[in-house]
Structure 1
């Protein structure tokens, strides 16, 4: 039986202009592997907690202290809980609260000559890690668009946090695919 591939679109919620990615992933992946796909595709560094919400069920890494009631993401395959048209969310960094809207746009038969996962397309760079959430990222974008804003110490601190080479408009799908292939 040929492998099934899901075409997923992931969009960062609360950020304008929109930051999004379109990826192809094996439908047999576990949610744990999808977590790593989201991390690589979006540009996060996997420094914080995360969770998935699928049909009002929370999935993530089990909490040894029992404070977070997650179903174990290692035990759940995508094709067991998702199908074409499914919409679900991925939350990264419970402090900054980066919510991602994910949609299964299509279910395809795997191309035997292709290595998965693959990033097909996307737009804009992921916000810098731990920048402070969507509102702080908006402030960073304002500061980047107006060089005179750096006279304000708050804006200057944001720019320092982002680093001198951060370009919010940058995204490279082929480079992201190369990173994703390291997962296999």
Structure 2
């Protein structure tokens, strides 16, 4: 029997220009590995808490202080919670609240000639960490785009590198995903 592969489309909610990725993920991945994969292909740096909301159940890293009621993502495989045509949410950074809509576009047997995981497509650069969620990201882009904007220089200095919201390289994302997940 061939391994089952899930084709997931991960879309960052409430941002323009659009940011999304299409990934092929082994069904045997636990949700903690799916989290690491999403971090890689989206461009996040895994500096904040996260959770999955799947069919009304919350999954993530158990909270030792018991403030968050989460099922342990280490104990849950993707193929146990994902179904073709299904949807779920992945939230990253509970302060900035980056919500990702995940669509299970397909499920099929693994191609023995292919290596997984694989980022097959995508669009848009990931927003910088700690930019302030979707609202802060809109302000950030407006400031960067206008040299006359009062925050232009401070935003450029804060980021410390160039930023093009349209740039995405699926080959680089796949390389990182295979290395880190």
1:145-160 equivalent positions in 2, closer than 5 A = 145-149=145-149, 152=150, 154-160=151-157
* Inter-partner Cα distance in structure 2 for 1:67 and 1:157: 36
Given that 2:43 and 2:126 are in contact with CA atoms closer than 8 Å, whether structure 1 keeps it comes out as: yes
Name the TM-score, length of structure 2 as normaliser. 0.96
Q: Which runs of 4+ in 1 moved over 4 A?
A: none
Asked if residue 176 in structure 1 is aligned to residue 180 in structure 2, the reply is no
RMSD: 1.1
- For structure 2, the 5+ residue unaligned runs are none
Q: Is the 8 A contact 1:31 1:78 kept in 2?
A: yes
Unaligned segments of structure 1, at least 5 residues: none
Question: Residue 161 of structure 1 corresponds to which residue in structure 2?
Answer: 158
- Say whether the 8 Å CA contact 1:140–1:159 is kept in structure 2: no
Contact 1:22-1:120 at 8 Å conserved across structures? yes
* 1:115-130 equivalences in 2 (<5 Å): 115-130=115-130
Aligned residue number for residue 57 of structure 1: 57
Aligned residues between the structures: 181
Give the TM-score normalised by the residue count of structure 1. Answer: 0.95
Q: Is the 8 A contact 2:28 2:77 kept in 1?
A: yes
Superposition deviation, residue 169 in structure 1? 1.2
What residue number does 1:71 align with? 71
Question: Which residue of the partner structure matches residue 4 of structure 1?
Answer: 4
